[in-house]
Structure 1
Amino acid sequence: MVEYILPLTRHLLAGNSKKLEAFMVERGFARVQVVPSPLHTLLPCAKLRYTYHYWETLRSHEPLPSRKQIDPRRLGIALGNICLLEAVNLGRDMKYRLYGSNIAYHAGHDLQGMTLREIPRHFPRKDFSDLPFHLALFQACLIEKRPYFSEYMTTSAQRRTPRIWSRLSLPLANNRGEVTMILHCISPRPTEQPAARVPSDMKMVV
């Protein structure tokens, strides 16, 4: 349940992803895009497509899969790129319950057990100006109960290795049907690769 909604989240809920994209561009990120209910067959990475297919399989005849249904043995090629996040403090923050080993390697840090708001304190020399972007996306995913695809490129402005970061956020329900967790797949790509062109799947209903 999300009781405190960020201003950036409100733009997403109103169908305006451009505000969120502009927020990132102003902070030096490039090739930013946000797509609600992405057409999963056109996701740019095999690991994202695999994760989406796995989530869809778990849905079966239910509106959403639950956290209890997630079986690491069935995450296959995506396992090391998977994060599980849980809403805390009435949705004001998100906590990493799982942080994939591949992501920790590429990012240069392991965020497991941390909330988004705690991260800058643990890594004071790194630039985490993208955290409001992620929290807004996670809040929208929880509230709207639908998947979100996002992508951006890090540059030297963030004191990080330049990479394209493609992400897929998928909502998970608890035993009361409330969306409190997110299955999140992250796939870093070389900057030489073209930007993804992922349309929204208007037929996708959660």
Structure 2
Amino acid sequence: MDRMAGSFGSGERARKITDEPQLIERPEHPAIIELAAYLERLRGDREMPDRADIQPSEIARLLPNMIIAEAVNGGADFRIRLFGTALVTLLGEERTGKLLSEFAEESSAFSSENPESVQRRWLFVTQRAFFGRKPVFLKVPFAASGRLYMVGHCLSAPLTAGGSEPAQTIGAMFASRVD
């Protein structure tokens, strides 16, 4: 196992933690580190960056792995405005335009999950960033047949939309293989 996946273990532990993303203090994946630094630079002396500050051309290589979600009903749910093509391929579902509460199972990544557990996990992470008003970093194990085979490195961060309150979140996931 590589050092990034080592904290998850294997076998039963890998299956169990699939429903329990591991929150981490700071990002470990180079692309997540890059995106976090970009958002921090945009934030400046404000509490959160504003959606209008983001220049897609400055982060073009990260876009296939990114997600932007808009709060619905004060953050009770979120509508996906951008769901990158790499995420579609990885998770097996186009989610642009969907609410988090409409997500289906992640059949290509998690063999035993149902839609409710997928929705619960995505909502937990998104709400934690939105209501916490700061970025959240995590690692998510991908396991099949009791074997850990990939680790998703993730970021979710709040964005304002012309004001001082969070209105959206921006995030990304990059998967690395476990050797």
Smaller-chain TM-score bracket: 0.7 to 0.9
Is 1:58 matched up with 2:42? yes
Which residue, 129, 132, 135 being the options, matches 1:144? 132
Structure 1 residue ranges without an equivalent (≥5): 1-23, 193-206
Over the aligned positions, Cα root-mean-square deviation in angstroms equals 2.7
Structure 2 residue ranges without an equivalent (≥5): 1-12
In the alignment, is the contact (CA less than 8 A) between 1:83 and 1:99 conserved in 2? Answer: yes
Deviation digits for residues 64-108 of structure 1 (CA, Å, limit 9, x no counterpart): 111111111011431211110111122211111001111112222
Secondary structure, in 3 states, of the residue corresponding to 1:73?
helix
Secondary structure, in 3 states, of the residue corresponding to 1:49?
helix
In the alignment, is the contact (CA less than 8 A) between 1:84 and 1:181 conserved in 2? Answer: yes
How much does 1:27 deviate?
5.3
Name the aligned partner's letter for residue 141 of structure 1.
A
Moved more, 141-150 or 26-35: 26-35
2:102 maps to 118
State how far apart, in whole Å, the 1-side matches of 2:97 and 2:145 are. 27
Is 1:86 matched up with 2:74? no
How much does 1:26 deviate?
7.7
Q: TM-score normalized by structure 1?
A: 0.68
Which residue, 85, 106, 119 being the options, matches 2:90? 106
How many residues are aligned here?
160
1:166 maps to 153
State how far apart, in whole Å, the 2-side matches of 1:31 and 1:93 are. 20
State how far apart, in whole Å, the 1-side matches of 2:68 and 2:18 are. 24
Q: Cα distance 1:168–1:117, how it changes in 2: closer, same or farther (>3 A)?
A: same
State how far apart, in whole Å, the 2-side matches of 1:172 and 1:86 are. 9
State how far apart, in whole Å, the 2-side matches of 1:162 and 1:114 are. 28
2:123 maps to 135
Deviation digits for residues 103-146 of structure 1 (CA, Å, limit 9, x no counterpart): 1122222111111111239x8x9733232122122112111211
Name the aligned partner's letter for residue 89 of structure 2.
Y
In the alignment, is the contact (CA less than 8 A) between 2:51 and 2:160 conserved in 1? Answer: yes
Name the aligned partner's letter for residue 141 of structure 2.
M
Q: TM-score normalized by structure 2?
A: 0.77
Which residue, 23, 31, 39 being the options, matches 1:34? 23
